[in-house]
Chains A and B, each alone.
Chain A
Amino acid sequence: MSIRRRDRQQADDWPTYLAARAQQVKEPRLSRFFAQTTLDPEMPIGEAPLVAMDFETTGLDASRHDIVSVGVVPFTLSRIRPADGNYWVLSPRRALSDESVAFHHITHSEVESAPDFTTIIDDLLTMLSGRLAVVHYRRLERAFLDAAMRERLGEGLLFPMVDTMSLEAQIHRQSWWARLRRWAGRPVASIRLHESRQRYHLPAYTGHHALVDALATAELLQAQIQYHYRWDTPIGALWR
């Protein structure tokens, strides 16, 4: 099943998928992850343990490009805890282009001395276990994580994610007001991370660092929930 279809169909049925994977999965580390990650779709977002995650990659296609850095920051709606977060620079299997070097502020030498994704799997899974992941643009993180796991462990890794970009799209692109604007030929609101944050008067960060962007995503979700949702909005209504 392609990731894209999985993504579309699973929205309402993540508990079934997670339960099925927990039964079927062979790889012990993934097995532990699925056993610990039983997310109740009725859980209020305000009570949910969350983890913001961001990848920097050599490109946009998970089949051709690789992850170069990973940032994760655990949080809840009432506290973001950067001190408990983590950040890794990884060695991509495929060459790092000069453009992406410039883009991510990661140097060739940093990457050359960096370990393979394999070495961080344990720590990353520990960080994600039992928490609902929050990303900005889920297609990228979901596809790259699944591909990286498939390649190293022989089995993929898919789980529900709250996507701050798609929340922003719903608010600013699918509302009747947004449609009216589009019909009137007005520019569409940007839903990129930086522009989205500006709408909530969040400070500007120097972008494209996986840890900074993970923190930026966590703050953005806190702002979105305060503005457009409720503390007791069930996570099942937010995840994709």
Chain B
Amino acid sequence: MNIEQLDIRGHMAQFAPFDNLPDALLDRIAAAVEIRYFQAGSELLTKDQPIDALWYVRSGAVEMYQRSGRLFNRLGEGGIFGYSDLLRHRPVRYPVNAIEDTLIYFIPGAVFEAVCDEDDDFAEFFDTGGQRLKVTVEQQRDDSELMTTRVRKLVHRQPQMVEASTSLQEAAQHMRDANATCVLVIDVTETHSAYTFSDRDGKHWKLSGILTDRDFCTRVLAEGLSPETPVGEVMSRRVIVVQSDESVYEAMLCMLRNQVHHLPVLHRRQPMGVLHLSDIVRYETHSSLFLVNNIYLQNTPDELARLSGEVRTAFVRLVADGANSEMVSRALATIGRSFIQRLIELAEAELGPPPVPYCFMVLGSMAREEPTITADQDNALILDDSFDPERHDGYFEALARFVSNGLDACGYPLCKGDIMATNPRWRQPLAVWKRYFMEWMDDPNPERLLHSSIFFDLAPVHGEAPMVEALQDLIAEVAPQRQRFLAALARNAKNRTPPLGFFRTFVMERDGEHRKSINLKRRGTAPLTDLVRVHALACGSKAQNTFARLDDIEGTKLVADGVVERLRYAFEFLSMVRIRHQADAIEQGREPDNSVNPENIDSRERHHLKDAFEAISHAQQFLSFRYTMPSKKDAPSKQDAR
């Protein structure tokens, strides 16, 4: 039978998941196809009718509705439907209508199930929701060796450990004998706590410090200390550690963030080795590493600005190495924070020491550690309550301007909404900041919150971090009790909707240059971070990062089982598509943006993209049930009178 002449197979081979099927299985499917034509406007499937085949759109377009009558999905050429009901052997749940003249290929249920049994990838494609996304996300992750390599793989030797009473000379001899560049200092403790570990004899130990070869130079020799001095008097007590199952990449960022070269690696609480910066460099020469190092070596804003091109190079290389979205975002956040820190150091060098303590904080995506390559700057200054505008504001205004202009030159454009420390409103003592937050939470209205929700993602970059922590504590304490605040935030979180009402596959944005495109930020990641923020505030989470917030939300009963998992993968997927799109743009010499043309997305990814958008849409619908405005008599307010 010359059925291959009919081009059924050739057509299906262009679309997911058929495109990845082995030839023999694709032949089997194509040979079993049956066909029917449907006129535009006719009903293909009615609710509760039995279904015995997988439906494939050969040409035309169809749409399906939920029980509520809400549009559920639209499919064009190559689209498939009916599988969830088919696989569960239940009648049709969503009616399907032809919105264009449509030619359907039917793949008989028995053939479909037989192929599912034989091909795992094919079967996985049809697993609904998060499961389907998960496969893709994990495949992406597996692509990169560096990103998946655990720290423990780089640790080959037990750490040198000495008690605090050990003399410096003895410690140095240990280091010499073991050819080590540092010793870990441990103390025996009576009590078993979250910071202790036990040895074979059942003794409890606590890691209390670290002493490096550099310390022998700066803290011992330079200070003229005696070799008999106990290490406990000289060691650094600030021990930055990493867990053995963290990625090498995470360890690297940890070193950069904390400006340390030695990183004790713990298995649970037991030190199992020390990672040195050179171990990582040897393992993989990585451009973002050198970039951050370089940032701290520059001595003027102009020199810093010259590095801005390297940010993009580092970004492209990271993406090419197969980093996942969290890694790329963290790297961009680390780079961005390094620029700010260095600029502030330079500003203080020029302006002198600050007249009162302060904290320079970042807001929005940078605070969430999720900036993209196109991020602008959102920052503010918290000043000590002893701040006197007359005497001190000149200094802080100059500092803010120095940092803002410097950042602008380094590729972080000024914030269009003027949310910057240069704006006197956002350069205030801690007490005023507390008042701001109380006002937003006590007297919310959606319009006002529209511009202030960005402040609910906040993180310290330089100065007195406890000031920002005080605000985070305040928010975590008050927000969960402010129903109207949460309701107003929830309402705003629904302003931007994912493109589910797309024609055929997607609704295209009608904005200027980007005809026929989807703005992945506006329609995807931004609504997702918005809705995650609402839940996070409701459960008193102090996390800023969207993934960390999702972890916190998962521990509550705020959302149904599985929702967090779906959102996590939706976020990872959308972020990754956006990141790759931006990396492509840079490589092709175009300006990176957030708009993608669905035609440039392969059909498999398109399915995942739609899953991700659906996950967001469902979560948005749920927001209005979860966070309702209290009735007027509970909280009379002018804004509610509409």
Contacts and interface: CB of A to CB of B under 8 A. Distances in A.
B33 interface: yes
Interface residues of A, number: 26
Given A202-B101, A203-B103, A205-B7, A83 B37 contact: no
A134 B534 CA distance: 63
Given A201-B59, A205-B7, A223 B33 contact: no
Nearest to B4: A211
Contact of A219 (B8, B33, B37): B37
B39 A226 contact: yes
A131 B163 CA distance: 96
Interface in A173-196: none
A209 B7 CA distance: 12
Contacts of A222: 36-37
B19 interface: no
Contact of B35 (A205, A209, A219, A227): A219
A79 B34 contact: yes
Contact of A80 (B3, B34, B60): B34
B158 interface: no
A81 B251 CA distance: 60
A82, A86, A209, A222: most-surrounded residue (chain B CB, <10 A)? A82
B510 to A, nearest CB: 25
B100 interface: yes
Given A223-B39, A226-B42, A81 B34 contact: yes
Interface in B320-355: none
Contacts of B641: none
Nearest to B37: A222
A226 B3 contact: no
A112 B58 CA distance: 36
Contact of A215 (B1, B35, B39, B42): B35
Nearest to A206: B7
A215 to B, nearest CB: 6
Nearest to A222: B37
B1 A226 contact: no
Interface string B1-13: 1110111100000
Given A202-B101, A202-B103, A87 B1 contact: yes
Contacts of A223: 37, 39, 101
A201, A211, A215, A219: most-surrounded residue (chain B CB, <10 A)? A201
Interface residues of B, number: 25
B38 interface: yes
B32 interface: yes
B5, B31, B42: most-surrounded residue (chain A CB, <10 A)? B5
Contact of B100 (A78, A201, A211): A201
Interface string B88-106: 0000000000001101001
Nearest to B100: A201
Contacts of B42: 226
Interface string A111-122: 000000000000
A86 B2 CA distance: 8
A85 B6 CA distance: 11
Interface in A35-84: 75, 78-83
Contacts of B37: 200, 202, 219, 222-223, 226
Given A79-B106, A202-B101, A223-B101, A86 B1 contact: yes
A185 to B, nearest CB: 30
Contacts of B7: 205-206, 212
Nearest to A218: B35
A200 B42 CA distance: 14
Interface string A212-240: 10010011001100110000000000000
Interface in B34-49: 34-40, 42
Interface string B355-366: 000000000000
B531 to A, nearest CB: 39
30 contacts: A79-B34, A79-B35, A79-B36, A79-B106, A80-B35, A81-B34, A82-B33, A82-B35, A83-B31, A83-B33, A86-B1, A87-B1, A87-B5, A200-B101, A201-B40, A201-B60, A202-B37, A202-B59, A202-B101, A203-B59, A205-B7, A209-B5, A211-B2, A211-B5, A212-B6, A215-B35, A219-B37, A223-B37, A223-B101, A226-B38
Interface of A: 75, 78-83, 85-87, 200-203, 205-206, 209, 211-212, 215, 218-219, 222-223, 226-227
